[in-house]
Structure 1
Amino acid sequence: MALSPTAVLVSSFLFYCGYYFMHYGKQPQVYKKKTSKFSHFLDNYVTTLVKPFWSFFVVPGGRFQTIVAALLPRDYKVSYYRKENISTPDGGEFLLAWASPGNKDEPTKPLVVIFPGLVSRSTSGYVQIIVKELIKLGFSAVVMGNRGIEIPCQTGKAFCAADTNDMQLAVNTIRERYPNRLIAGVGISFGGLLLSRYLAQKGENSKLQAAFVYCCPFNPVAGSVNLEKWDNWLLYNVFLTNDLLKIYDRSREKFVGVVDHQKLKRVRSIREFDIHMTAKVFGYESVDHYYKDSVITTKFLHSIKTPTLCLCADDDAFVPIKSLPYQEMAQTDYIAIAITHGGGHVGHLQGINPLSTPYFVEMMMDYFTAVFNHSDELPEIEKPTYSVQ
């Protein structure tokens, strides 16, 4: 006896539900040094770390969730940015976009500095979500825009994963203006890679109370190999490459004599772009030399002295799970990493409503609320001269 179409649909739905409930809804795997002060802090105050992550029911896998998250129309538009160009010693410029409702500077509020992804800007969807949620909690935010992203390059230099000079200037500028303010940093994807390197380079002098690093490709060598696979190239790589070329085209006259424009016109992947652009501009022998130099090594991890919570997904095409140094992180006193089953790259949509607050934003807000209200319980925290209400 043949099954009716309704019976087939119901059976298929029930089978899918069984698969979903069997594979998702798990607590993240958290790797941290259990005897560290930072570990106790997280156990006491960041309850999201033990909350099950129910990946978006319709597309729970990271591959398509990454795309859905990027394309979702969200009512999170930030209309109150105050944008400021910061000049660098070499004649370049980068952007600081201050999120100030009513155009008010409120120097007693805790401040979060956001370092976005490779081609992201202050108006990117996930950046605006973070800003809105921080403002809602009573904090302030400022977004750093790399050279060439929102303002054209002023010199023949853009940005790369191993150069933190602009980030250092950004943090120094903010800290000089607000010497007693509680300030934390957020690095997403490429921004997380830069922030991790900065924290390692500065050690105890990072001038940040804490950091949150999300979807960071700690090993660009492994990440590049994975993105070169045909399916990942088709889904993500080609689109990011086109965005990089648009950024280059806005300032290409600044790179005359340094890069070959005709070769750049023909690139079809991030790796090819880095071969003909990034490696050339920053003086690397090859793109492999550049990627290897950008890896956050064990030595770098142990040099970080700023309390840093990291979040990644086990199905992130940009951050292969085998490339994550989670065991090394668990041996440090200042770093913890949570790895979810599902979530993709800068996705972490959850439940049945894709427009609800993403899981990574919930964890980030949970963490910063703890940081700003219990800063005296963080390891070696810089003490402010006022109390946080």
Structure 2
Amino acid sequence: MPDDDFLSLDWAPDPGGPVVLLLHGLGGSSRSAYAVSLLRALHAHGFWAGVMHFRGAGGEPNRKLRGYHMAEADDPREVVMQLRRRYPRRLVAAVGVSLGGSALLHALARDGGETLLDCAVAVSVPYRLPIAERCLNRGVARLYQRRILEEMKRQWRRKCRVLARLDLCSGLDEMRSFRQFDARITAPIHGFADADDYYERASSIHVLGDIRVPTLLIHAANDPFMTPDGLPAPEDLPEQVVLECHRSGGHVGFLERAGRRYLARRIPAFLSQHLQRDHDRR
């Protein structure tokens, strides 16, 4: 990366088609069930698909204190621009899941009049983080929070050992919520005043109107991370952005009969439709 740090990408075999970059969720990686399923499906449809691990994810601590957060637009943009330079004849798309979807929407919105990507898909995004933070502290969502928080703490401990900054792990064992982790680590390290400032400024609902790339938003009304009133309204969406809201599907679930995954069917279909259109125009 330009700041002498690094991040890692895991790639499926290259069948020669367009490039699709997958951005994982909080505490996720290329080994997450949704990532494995999507990589297989995208490869089967002729895409060259890879997972971009945010800094410190993927099992290897990065060299800087900087990690990743809901509005992390710089690193996905840098990776996409490098892909564009290395493979100038290929179309490039991206799929973001949960936090990765939020980061992707911020990256697309920051692009302005330029075309960062040819098209994009964002799945199960917590569009309004103050609402998501409240949802995570009730019902079944608390189980998600506990599991992901433990992985975040493990990643932070590994990073502190690599950086010889064990002092930064003070109070980590006592953290029981994302808010505590974000107030102590995420917000101050990434330039936010506090957790409330982070949740407000990093909410992707504020940037949707700036997106100019064909983008599909996939969400479920029963997502435990977000109540339906937190979803984008029609007036929040520009012409190029479409929200597909399902009655059920949970958080990055969307399972169909016989264990099939709707995302593994819908996402390649959307990408094929728009990338073929772009290819024909060229």
* TM-score normalised over the length of structure 2: 0.93
Which residue of 2 is the match for residue 342 of structure 1?
248
Shift of 1:255: 7.5
State the partner residue of 1:326.
233
Q: Which amino acid aligns with 1:338?
A: E
The aligned residue for residue 229 of structure 1 is 138
Matched, 1:371 2:274: yes
In structure 1, stretches of 5+ residues that fail to align are: 1-87, 378-382, 385-389
Q: Which of 200, 211, 215 is the equivalent residue of 1:308?
A: 215
Q: Which amino acid aligns with 1:251?
A: K
Quick check: 2:119–2:275 contact (8 Å CA) kept in 1? no
How far did 1:374 drift? 2.5
The alpha-carbon deviation at position 329 of structure 1 amounts to 4.1
Q: Which runs of 4+ in 1 moved over 6 A?
A: none
Q: Which amino acid aligns with 1:262?
A: S
Residue ranges of structure 2 left out of the alignment (5+ in a row): none
User: What is the aligned length?
Assistant: 280
Aligned residue for 1:268? 176
Summarize deviations over 1:166-191 as a string: whole Å, max 9, x none.
Answer: 11111111111111211111011000
Matched, 1:239 2:122: no
The CA deviation at 1:160 is: 1.5
Change over 3 Å in CA distance of 1:372–1:127 after alignment to 2: same
**1:26 equivalent in structure 2:** none
Shift of 1:137: 1.2
Measure, in 2, the Cα distance between the counterparts of 1:328 and 1:217: 18
Hey, what does 1:256 align to over in structure 2? Answer: 165
Which structure has more RCO (C-alpha within 8 Å, separation ≥ 6)?
1
CA distance in 1: counterparts of 2:235 and 2:263, whole angstroms = 22
Deviation larger for 132-141 or 246-255: 246-255
Question: Match for 1:374: what amino acid?
Answer: R
Q: Which amino acid aligns with 1:173?
A: Q
Measured in 2, the distance between the counterparts of 1:216 and 1:95 equals 23
Q: Indicate the percent of aligned positions where both proteins have the same amino acid.
A: 28
Contact 1:329–1:335 (CA<8 Å) still a contact in 2?
no
Spell out the pairing of 1:114-263 with structure 2 (5 A cutoff). 114-150=22-58, 151-229=60-138, 231-233=140-142, 235-253=143-161, 254=163, 256=165, 260-263=168-171
Name the residue aligned to 2:203: 295
Asked which structure has the greater CA Rg, the reply is: 1
Shift of 1:125: 1.3
1:376 CA displacement: 6.2
Q: Tell me, in whole angstroms, the C-alpha distance in 1 between the residues paired with 2:235 and 2:204.
A: 11
